[in-house]
Every structure is written in structure tokens, then in C-alpha cells.
């Protein structure tokens, strides 16, 4: 279900909140994979937030926000494999970007283009080596409000 760039930008910038007020689990040692439902503050759009920690590489993290249940609007990859942009990409065609890298919906490319976090307007990663800070910064970029409580387990 492709979106226009204007639609994708509007969905990403739309203020949204987690429906479930339970803290987000940020385990440092366990492999994790979960999704949580978000609702626009105007209560017209549903979103999904995906969190994934690697099984073999526990440092690998992926944070993702989806609109319309299937359209990836934004994704932050930390400590994972490098990403090669498509050869016809409008941004760094054919180049490999190491982690951390950021994917944001681009019309006709969906989430197949990666950017260095510093190249993404509005994204401010305070410390790319700190997964918890990156999670907060990612949620802020995706207009999640209020910021959910984050639970760290050992």
C-alpha cells in the first residue's frame, strides 16, 4: 500500500501515544521482539511500534514505526549489518551505510534507503552508542507523546 511522500510525512509527524500505558521493556541481555499499538491523539489513525533485539548479537537493536499496519514510516538500526542503498536511490546511490543508520519512508522506495542519523532533519541522537537514549530520541522523532516509561531489566 504505497503512500505519497506528503501522506507519509503527515503520518510520521502526527502526534501519537501508546494505547497501553505499561512500560516499554528494554532488556539488555534477553533477545526481544515485540510490537505495541499507538493511536493518533486525534484518534483517527493507528500505528505500530516494533522493538527488536538480536538473538546472537544482543547489541543489535531495531526500532520501527509503521503506519496503516504495514507501511514502515521510520526505522533506526543499531549495531546491525551495513545497508546498501539501491543503485537508483536519490540519496547515496549504491553506497553501503554502516550502523547506526536510519530509514525513513521515501515515495517509490518505501524504507529501502538508509541515511546516516546526522543526515536526517529532526533526528537528534544524543549518544548513538546508548540504545536507551536512541529509543527515546527515536520516539521523539516519531512524535510519540507523552514519552512512555522505559523499564530496564538485567
- pLDDT tens-place string over residues 108-152: 999 999 999 999 999 999 999 999 999 999 999 999 999 999 988
Residues 59-95 pLDDT 10s: 789 999 999 999 999 999 999 999 999 999 999 999 9
- Residue spans per domain, the chain: 5-151
16 neighbors 40 (Cβ within 8 angstroms): yes
Determine if the pTM surpasses 0.75.
Answer: yes
> CA 59 → CA 25, 79, 108, 138, 141, distances in Å?
15, 6, 31, 17, 22
- Indicate whether 1 pLDDT > 90: no
* C-alpha span between 64 and 51 (Å, rounded): 7
Amino acid at each position: 500500500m504505497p503512500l505519497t511522500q506528503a501522506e507519509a510525512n503527515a503520518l510520521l509527524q502526527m502526534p501519537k501515544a501508546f494505547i497501553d500505558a505499561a512500560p516499554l521493556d528494554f532488556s539488555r541481555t534477553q533477545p526481544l521482539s515485540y510490537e505495541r499499538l499507538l493511536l493518533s491523539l486525534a484518534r483517527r489513525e493507528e500505528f505500530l511500534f516494533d522493538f527488536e533485539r538480536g538473538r546472537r548479537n544482543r547489541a543489535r537493536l531495531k526500532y520501527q514505526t509503521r503506519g496503516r499496519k504495514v507501511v514502515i514510516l521510520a526505522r533506526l538500526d543499531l549495531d546491525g549489518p551495513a545497508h546498501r542503498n539501491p543503485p537508483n536511490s536519490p540519496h547515496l546511490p549504491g553506497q553501503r551505510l554502516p550502523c547506526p543508520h536510519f530509514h525513513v519512508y521515501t515515495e517509490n522506495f518505501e524504507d529501502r534507503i538508509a541515511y546516516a542519523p546526522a543526515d536526517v532533519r529532526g533526528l537528534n541522537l544524543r549518544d548513538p552508542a546508548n540504545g536507551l537514549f536512541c529509543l527515546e530520541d527515536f520516539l521523539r522523532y516519531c512524535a510519540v507523546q507523552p514519552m512512555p516509561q522505559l523499564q530496564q531489566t538485567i
